[in-house]
Amino acid sequence: MPGSKIFRRITVIALSLICLEVTAAPDLQRQKELNYLLKHDCGSCHGMRLEGGLGPALKPVQLQFYSVEQVAFTILHGRPGTPMPPWQPFLSEQDANWLAARLKAGVRP
């Protein structure tokens, strides 16, 4: 059906715009704060180079099977029964998505 192609294109465009909004980068000051948190707070358990310690390594190879959203969910809600705390009291969903995308890309603070 010709109409269904148009509907699919509109749906793809709409979903793309939603994803762009969700993964929008925080302002530069907040990025500095998040990099500090990643290096010092996350690094205290995951290793200063995020290669593992009390917590697992946070390198792209270890995160390759998880989406940005899944990594962000873990950041926000922690892992019950493990030392991984929930960071939701301190981070927004935008913050967690930005951190997760950086971790998956291999960008280090």
pLDDT per position as a tens digit, 9-59: 665 565 544 544 455 799 999 999 999 999 999 999 999 999 999 999 999
Coil vs helix vs strand at 7: helix
> Rounded to 5 degrees, what are φ and ψ at 100?
-60, -45
- The domain locations on the chain are 2-105
In angstroms, rounded to a whole number, what is the distance separating the alpha carbons of residues 35 and 105? 14
- The pTM score is 0.77
pLDDT per position as a tens digit, 54-74: 999 999 999 999 999 999 999
Numbers of helices and strands, H then E, in the chain: 6, 0
CB 84 within 8 A of CB 76: no
Asked if CATH classification 1.10.760.10 holds for the domain at 2-105, the reply, yes or no, is yes
